[in-house]
Amino acid sequence: MGNSEVVFLYGPSWDAPARLSKHHLARYWARTRRVLYVESPPNPLSFYTRFEEARALWERYRQGPIEVTEQLFVHTYFYPLPFWGGSVGFGGRWVNKCNQMIVRPQLSKRLQALDFNKPVLLVCSAHALPLVDHIPHRLLMYHCSDDYTAVPSRQTSFDQLERELIQRCDVVITTSDELRRAKENLNPSIVTVRNGVDFEHFSRTQAETEVAHELAGLPRPVVGYIGSVFRWIEQEWISQAARLLPTWSFVFIGPRQTNVSRLEALPNVHFLGPRPYNLLPEYLRGFDVATVPFTSNQVTLRASPIKFYEYLAAGIPVVATRLPDLEPLAEFAHLVTSAEGFTSALQQAVSQDTPESRQRRVKESRRHSWEARYVQLDAVIENIAGNRFR
């Protein structure tokens, strides 16, 4: 590692309930470099779709960057126009170009104030493409953690933005082999570095951690899920399992981003909303089995679910959709492809769990720590970029 600066362009909100790969990478690189982490900017529509988050981002925009740890600054900007919909109107590239024209002079001024001189640019969202020509940089990278071109609600002009960005980058990092294969025709310098786990944090679950009070009184076994409740949750599997196992409790920890009324109607299904990251081991401690019940589509089949690695570190039995990224870890989890298989696997996971199997999961998860992932990433970038990364 060298001493150059790094700018993250449009990462997930820093204060989001979950800590994602960009959050962990920013903290890792801030050990030896100065880092500016620029969050994805809100727009006027954000105050209707995600009010609390938008309000917090607006305050950050008004007050200027905060130094969250030594050498790590977090800041955001504001888009005057919402970028959404089809290829015309507000979904057109002209909207994104206008927004970036507003951001550009503000970001340039901020970089100058922080004395960032030709930083490494790590693009987290292809929306930043119009900025890269106007920020002197030594290296351009794209961290592609999901296949957003397969998301139905995306702006249709996003596909071309991402194609152009990938073609221009010095290095492209994907989080799964399936995602890499979907993009590698655009750039030969593309590598897979999977998601990982904050091992020290989540392995606390098997220590003296107390069970979260909200779970302590629920009928057991408790089937748990931590993360955003979005359209890719396989609601049919959960509904069938909850009906067949009426004395079990099904708990979801995380923001709801889709209609779950069919599940809310079931008396043994509980949606608790998001909980602080530092308290998640207390909730995991109350799970008898944890789940990754995703539908199978272009997005999920190319995903590397962070929650899976967090469950392993907690030592809890895991039942997950059979995704390509999880196949190498099949001996540590129950991977399923149907509603019937999901219910059966939940029962097996609980009945077959032992202290020894929990320790095996914890031991395996250490191999997938964020530290291990980013040592690998540094080596990959050094091999491709050499002095430009130092």
Residue pair 7/119 in contact by the 8 Å Cβ criterion: yes
Cα-Cα-Cα-Cα dihedral sign, residues 195, 286, 349, 273: negative
Instruction: Provide the 3-class DSSP secondary structure of residue 248.
Output: coil
Residue 263's pLDDT is: 98
Give me the helices (H) in 254-369, please: 261-264, 280-285, 306-314, 339-351, 355-366
Residue 1's pLDDT is: 41
pTM above 0.85, yes or no: yes
Among the listed residues 65, 17, 91, 75, the one whose alpha carbon sits nearest the alpha carbon of residue 42: 75
Among the listed residues 158, 144, 135, the one whose alpha carbon sits nearest the alpha carbon of residue 36: 135
- Count Cβ neighbours within 10 Å for each residue of 79-114 and write b for 16 or more, e otherwise: beebbebeeeebbbbebbebbbeebbeebeebbeeb
Tell me the β-bridge partners of 336: 321
Residue pLDDT, tens place only, 233-244: 999 999 999 999
Among the listed residues 87, 86, 65, the one whose alpha carbon sits nearest the alpha carbon of residue 76: 65
Is residue 313 over pLDDT 90? yes
pLDDT over 70, % of the chain: 97
Residue pLDDT, tens place only, 323-359: 999 999 999 999 999 999 999 999 999 999 999 999 9
Residue 83's pLDDT is: 81
Q: What is the CATH number of domain 6-195+369-389?
A: 3.40.50.2000
Residue pLDDT, tens place only, 353-363: 999 999 999 99
From 79-88, 137-146, 151-160, 194-203, the region with the lowest mean pLDDT: 79-88
Residue 88's pLDDT is: 53
Residue 18 DSSP class = S
The mean per-residue pLDDT over the stretch 149-176 comes to: 90
From 28-32, 150-154, 334-338, 383-387, the region with the lowest mean pLDDT: 150-154
Give the Cα separation of 90 and 201 in Å (integer). Answer: 42
From 3-12, 90-99, 139-148, 312-321, the region with the lowest mean pLDDT: 90-99
How much of the chain is helix, strand and coil, in % rounded to 5? 45, 15, 35
**Domain residue spans in the chain?**
6-195+369-389, 199-366
Is residue 304 over pLDDT 70? yes
Residue 85's pLDDT is: 62
From 13-22, 120-129, 232-241, 258-267, the region with the lowest mean pLDDT: 13-22
pLDDT over 90, % of the chain: 86
CA atoms within 13 A on the CB side of 193: 25
Among the listed residues 195, 369, 207, 353, the one whose alpha carbon sits nearest the alpha carbon of residue 284: 207
Residue 187 DSSP class = -
Residue 3's pLDDT is: 61
Q: What is the CATH number of domain 199-366?
A: 3.40.50.2000
Residue pair 239/267 in contact by the 8 Å Cβ criterion: no
